[in-house]
Amino acid sequence: MVALSAKQSPVTSNEVMRQQRLDVQLRQLEFNALLHRKLDLERLFECLLVEGQSFVQFDGLQYLAGERGADIQLGYTRQHRQRFEMKLGQRSLGEIVLMRAKAFSAREDRDAERLVESLIYPLDNALEHHKVSMKALTDGATGLRNQRALDELLPREIRLVRRVEQALAVILMSVDYLESISEHHGGKVGEEAWHTVADTLTGRLRQSDLIFRTDADAFCIVLNQTNLDGALALADRLRQEVDRCVSFDNVQFVLTASAGVTELSVTDNARSLLSRAQDALVMARQAGRNQVRAIAPDDPSDGSDPTAA
């Protein structure tokens, strides 16, 4: 038997326990206040990942947005997971998954649940902010992301592919004389035509691809993990899909599309990449429209010796 002196006693005094509870409550209040200041969804979950370690240890998280917001994954993917369905009244706020390498104990389960509960009201606010922000970044006629969204997202996509050393290509496509539908059949029919073409193009893309309607009434498609040859093949398939995708009052329109294609180089920024795609699109139009032209990153700036599809 081991004898314990009063100095060695494992019993924590009431005063120490009270102070520990106060410290936890203070950290919780500070954490809650910090969450409420995060309106951006990604920043909110970054805060949860970093600051949440004070309450329970985990290595990564997933946010599955469902009908609202956008899916997010941060940190490391691990085997052991805790899932939490987020609700505010009858409204679903999505699902949060906490991940780590070792199993959660019963106490850690409770700590994780309390941690995620702190997120409910800040998450609801961030989702509303995301909805408003997305409206400002959405083209009204097509439902696609607009020029402003392209200006914001393309530099981010370039940073991401360079971090993992992957290819990225851009297709800039215009539907030849699509605006004439509005002139001959009215603005409502013209908007429906834009929307139909946008749906047709989107339906042929991967979930990871991004598509925008630019201020110049062109469709800009950003393809990660895709080189110039792959983008050329896709652009020609999309060009063919546009033909006869629009109809009105049992009359099917015959449409053609022109496209310019290029690939990201080591020296490109968003502006130079889009400029080269625009040069390739101009070449396709000047060559008679209804075709695809590509400019490789190492081609002369005047676009000579183009690749044709």
CATH number for the domain that contains residue 186: 3.30.70.270
Mean pLDDT of 125-130: 90
In which domain, by residue range, is 23 found?
Answer: 15-135
Q: Residue 292: its pLDDT value, please?
A: 95
The verdict on residue 8 lying in a domain is no
**How sure is the predictor about 21, in pLDDT bands with cuts at 50, 70 and 90?**
low
Q: Residue 10: its pLDDT value, please?
A: 55
Residue range 30-60, pLDDT digits in tens: 878 888 888 888 899 999 999 899 899 999 9
**How sure is the predictor about 306, in pLDDT bands with cuts at 50, 70 and 90?**
very low
The verdict on residue 226 lying in a domain is yes
For residue 28, what is the domain's CATH number? Answer: 3.30.450.40
The verdict on residue 104 lying in a domain is yes
The structural domain count of the chain equals 2
Q: Does residue 179 sit in the same domain as residue 300?
A: yes
Question: Which of residues 116, 135, 154 is at a domain's end?
Answer: 135
The verdict on residue 1 lying in a domain is no
Q: What percentage of residues in the chain have a pLDDT greater than 90? A: 49
Integer CA distances (angstroms), 194 to 141, 183, 244, in order: 7, 13, 13
Q: Does residue 167 sit in the same domain as residue 56?
A: no
Cβ neighbours for 63, distance < 8 A, ≥ 6 positions apart? 41, 45, 69, 71, 72, 73, 94, 95, 96, 97
Q: Does residue 121 sit in the same domain as residue 151?
A: no
**How sure is the predictor about 16, in pLDDT bands with cuts at 50, 70 and 90?**
low
Q: Does residue 164 sit in the same domain as residue 216?
A: yes
Integer CA distances (angstroms), 236 to 140, 173, 196, in order: 27, 10, 18
Question: Which of residues 81, 109, 135 is at a domain's end?
Answer: 135
3-state secondary structure (DSSP) of residue 99: strand
**How sure is the predictor about 105, in pLDDT bands with cuts at 50, 70 and 90?**
very high
Rounded to whole angstroms, how far apart are CA atoms 57 and 49? Answer: 9
Q: Does residue 101 sit in the same domain as residue 202?
A: no
Mean pLDDT of 260-288: 95
Paired strand residues for 96: 63, 84
The verdict on residue 5 lying in a domain is no
Which of 36-50, 117-131, 175-189 is predicted with the least confidence, judged by mean pLDDT? Answer: 175-189
120-136 vs 41-51: helix crossing angle, rounded to 10: 150
Mean pLDDT of 277-285: 96
Which two structure tokens, joined as six digits, stand for 143? Answer: 């439902």
Query: Is 241 within 8 Å of 233 (Cβ atoms)?
Result: no
Q: Does residue 166 sit in the same domain as residue 303?
A: yes
Biggest CA–CA distance in the chain, Å, is 99
Q: What percentage of residues in the chain have a pLDDT greater than 70? A: 85
**pTM of the complete model beyond 0.75:** no
